[in-house]
Chain A
């Protein structure tokens, strides 16, 4: 089915030019990067922009780089870029593990991690991972640059703190300490091309410090402060894992939708959390499964 909606297309070459165009056209302009969410949205009539602003011509938005102890992922970096980046594999392999679960190669070759958090569906794979990595979202708007902590980014289903006429230029995160373990566990109906029915990201740091986040089981992807608090400073053992699993229900509020029932999500979440926690702890100790291994 062709796209029935008609619109104009523009491809600015600088971020200032792009922001100027967005400012002038207001809500009738829509930013385009990888297009893997936007083109189906145009086809289904979910978005009806008068103008599509392609940001792929803007220099400086591509690439993944490390500056000191900060890792920066540009707005045009695709999930394939994350999968193939030596820097990511070495410094933040959780991003690799997450990227490998996103759709399929043909989609990952276009879809961007920044586009994923701008679409901001509750099942987005990037959300839980960026939450445990304490990422920051870098925004350029008419009044200049802003930095939004990822914990304040997601404001509702498909809603973010982006603001009008603004563009996300990158996400950054403090490089995790060399000794860390992490895991991303994604439940889907099949591998390759499914959104998460539920997901969990776990980061295990030295000195028994943990971060936990969930996806697809609340209106936005969410951190789990109650679980983090329980685990903080304690040596991991079976009793503690059992206690932490019992807290999962307090930290999530799954609903029934087209991909899974509420009951199925409630049943699977503690299991996924336990597997993620065990994998992260084992990886911290240096004897866990390789990143990208199937955890569920």
Chain B
């Protein structure tokens, strides 16, 4: 039986009919055309499907779309609506990503960290992104960029 769910996706109300066995990741990508959350391991290990749900980073591959009814979803498309955030700019300047597959998840995980802890330690940064696997960079330029933004006491929002 289809369930009609309402999501606030990147500031826009979206209504969609879903089957109970559709994941939030599938609905975002295939029904709503939001392609920044990636299909990776599909078991919560790699972090490439990360989205912010009510301000918290979550694995959209581990959530049924029906469960997310009424929630607030932020993806990279919403985060950088008005251009790159300060954090994203720091990632660019540090050449933090190569292939970019992990980037949406890393950006959102680090955004959540900075929103809750504006000046994290190196260990706290590593802990926050430990569930986001990057096979290109060895993580150093990623950690460095987050620490740079943290050092300024800034968050992950625009401006």
- A residues near B (Cβ < 8 Å) are 1-9, 32, 35-36, 39-40, 42-43, 52, 54, 56, 80, 100, 103-107, 109-110, 191-193
Establish whether residues A3 and B23, one from each chain, have CB atoms under 8 Å apart when the complex forms: yes
**Known interface pairs A104-B47, A105-B57. Does A35 touch B63 (Cβ–Cβ under 8 Å)?**
yes
- The interface residues of chain B lying within 8 Å CB-to-CB of A104 are 47, 130-132
Establish whether residues B57 and A106, one from each chain, have CB atoms under 8 Å apart when the complex forms: yes
Confirm or deny: B61 has a beta carbon within 8 angstroms of a beta carbon on chain A: yes
**Known interface pairs A1-B42, A110-B58. Does A7 touch B20 (Cβ–Cβ under 8 Å)?**
yes
Query: A36's contact among B20, B53, B59, B105, by CB below 8 Å, is which?
Result: B59
Establish whether residues B58 and A9, one from each chain, have CB atoms under 8 Å apart when the complex forms: no
Confirm or deny: B122 has a beta carbon within 8 angstroms of a beta carbon on chain A: no
Chain A: which residue is nearest B26 at the CB level?
A2
Confirm or deny: B45 has a beta carbon within 8 angstroms of a beta carbon on chain A: yes
CB pairs A–B below 8 angstroms (25 shown): A1-B42, A2-B26, A4-B21, A8-B20, A32-B64, A32-B67, A36-B44, A39-B63, A40-B42, A40-B62, A42-B21, A52-B20, A54-B66, A54-B67, A100-B127, A104-B47, A104-B130, A104-B131, A105-B131, A106-B47, A107-B44, A109-B56, A110-B59, A192-B130, A193-B45
**Known interface pairs A3-B21, A7-B20, A103-B44. Does A39 touch B62 (Cβ–Cβ under 8 Å)?**
yes
B43 to chain A, nearest CB (A): 5
A112 to chain B, nearest CB (A): 13
B39 to chain A, nearest CB (A): 9
Confirm or deny: B36 has a beta carbon within 8 angstroms of a beta carbon on chain A: no
Give Cα A109–Cα B60 distance, bound, in whole angstroms: 12
Output the residue of B3, B22, B67, B127 with the most chain A CB within 10 A: B67
Chain B: which residue is nearest A56 at the CB level?
B67
- B residues near A (Cβ < 8 Å) are 1, 3, 19-23, 26, 42-45, 47, 50, 53, 56-59, 61-64, 66-67, 105, 109, 112-113, 127-128, 130-132
Output the residue of A35, A36, A106 with the most chain B CB within 10 A: A106
Give Cα A3–Cα B23 distance, bound, in whole angstroms: 8
Establish whether residues B1 and A8, one from each chain, have CB atoms under 8 Å apart when the complex forms: yes
Give Cα A103–Cα B44 distance, bound, in whole angstroms: 9
Establish whether residues B63 and A9, one from each chain, have CB atoms under 8 Å apart when the complex forms: no
The 10 closest A-B CB pairs, nearest first, are A104-B131, A192-B130, A9-B20, A3-B21, A109-B56, A39-B62, A106-B57, A40-B43, A9-B66, A193-B131
Establish whether residues A6 and B19, one from each chain, have CB atoms under 8 Å apart when the complex forms: yes
- The interface residues of chain B lying within 8 Å CB-to-CB of A32 are 64, 67
Given contacts A2-B26, A54-B67, 4 further A-B contacts (CB under 8 A): A7-B20, A8-B20, A105-B109, A110-B63
Establish whether residues B63 and A7, one from each chain, have CB atoms under 8 Å apart when the complex forms: no
Give Cα A9–Cα B2 distance, bound, in whole angstroms: 10
- The interface residues of chain B lying within 8 Å CB-to-CB of A4 are 21
**Known interface pairs A35-B62, A107-B59, A193-B130. Does A2 touch B67 (Cβ–Cβ under 8 Å)?**
no
Give Cα A116–Cα B47 distance, bound, in whole angstroms: 20
Output the residue of B21, B57, B63, B128 with the most chain A CB within 10 A: B21
Give Cα A32–Cα B58 distance, bound, in whole angstroms: 16
Establish whether residues A105 and B42, one from each chain, have CB atoms under 8 Å apart when the complex forms: no
- The interface residues of chain B lying within 8 Å CB-to-CB of A6 are 19-21
Establish whether residues A43 and B43, one from each chain, have CB atoms under 8 Å apart when the complex forms: yes
Establish whether residues B62 and A110, one from each chain, have CB atoms under 8 Å apart when the complex forms: yes
Establish whether residues B21 and A105, one from each chain, have CB atoms under 8 Å apart when the complex forms: no
Give Cα A36–Cα B44 distance, bound, in whole angstroms: 7
Establish whether residues A9 and B64, one from each chain, have CB atoms under 8 Å apart when the complex forms: yes
- The interface residues of chain A lying within 8 Å CB-to-CB of B67 are 32, 35, 54, 56
Give Cα A43–Cα B3 distance, bound, in whole angstroms: 20
Establish whether residues A106 and B59, one from each chain, have CB atoms under 8 Å apart when the complex forms: yes
**Known interface pairs A54-B67, A105-B112, A193-B131. Does A36 touch B62 (Cβ–Cβ under 8 Å)?**
yes
- The interface residues of chain B lying within 8 Å CB-to-CB of A106 are 44, 47, 50, 57-59, 105, 109, 131-132
Query: A39's contact among B3, B23, B53, by CB below 8 Å, is which?
Result: B23
Give Cα A96–Cα B127 distance, bound, in whole angstroms: 14
B44 to chain A, nearest CB (A): 5
Give Cα A224–Cα B48 distance, bound, in whole angstroms: 40
